[in-house]
Chain A
């Protein structure tokens, strides 16, 4: 076949946006912030206490505290955005069939939105202090 060396005439529509650049920067910024959040999270829940002792009470208590609410929500959102964009890279790379890629992305992104919603609800729309009281009444004390 003859090759026509043309001016990059069909510069695709996508080309003129900075989306990719911004995501790239976001990956660094969010990563930087998360280093502290995630390592802190690990430290608190893995080193300070024995993970296998974590149970409802521990969680509920933690989730009643506004500071932790914000801390955890930040991790959730940043990690979700960061991880999902990372996964988008991976899916672009690994799933070469456009139809299949589209379908996978649709499922994955829906799942991600769902998880963020559930997570956010549990953090902000649920009054754990009430639960805790209830639990204390019905079960007596909640063993650590």
Chain B
């Protein structure tokens, strides 16, 4: 295994999160579009996606979205400014910090909801 540093891991994560987002985008679009076929089909699909495992997956995808967005901004800064390259490492730590900063309240908000849903057999 090559001992790369921050830049390498930033890239690996960016790529993986991008792919995850894309995968989710496909599922999500189909899921939402199912509304076209009326409430019966649609609600069944949505219920299917409301099982806890998908909920946790959704949390991960959200984390991916956060990381990908913030790191995307880091990349854009590096692409167009000299200091972005100079401080790329610090910027990356900034990205991680931002993700954590946003994720913690998010988790505090959503985890109880998921647990609630899981223990009460769904939101309905």
Contacts and interface: CB of A to CB of B under 8 A. Distances in A.
Chain A–chain B contact at Cβ < 8 A: yes
Interface of A: 28, 31-32, 34-35, 38-39, 42, 46-47, 50-57, 59-60, 63, 76, 79-80, 83-84, 86-87, 90, 111-112, 115, 118-119, 121-122, 126, 128, 131, 135, 139, 142-143
Interface in B64-85: 65-66, 69, 72-73, 75-76, 79
Interface of B: 15, 18-19, 21-22, 25-26, 29-30, 32-33, 35-36, 38-39, 42-43, 46, 50, 55, 58, 62, 65-66, 69, 72-73, 75-76, 79, 106, 109-110, 113-114, 117, 122-124
A46 B106 contact: yes
Nearest to B38: A131
Contact of A83 (B18, B30, B39, B42): B18
16 contacts: A32-B76, A38-B69, A39-B65, A47-B106, A52-B55, A55-B46, A56-B35, A56-B39, A76-B25, A83-B25, A87-B22, A90-B18, A115-B26, A115-B29, A119-B32, A122-B35
A118 B31 CA distance: 10
Contact of B19 (A47, A59, A90, A135): A90
A59 B42 contact: yes
Contact of A59 (B32, B65, B73): B32
B110 to A, nearest CB: 7
B79 to A, nearest CB: 7
Contacts of A53: 123
A55 B50 CA distance: 10
Lowest 3 A-B CB distances belong to which pairs?
A83-B22, A122-B33, A56-B39
A52 B73 CA distance: 30
B35 A63 contact: yes
A56 to B, nearest CB: 4
A57 B42 CA distance: 10
Contacts of A84: 22
Contacts of A142: 39
Contacts of A76: 25, 29
Contacts of B109: 47
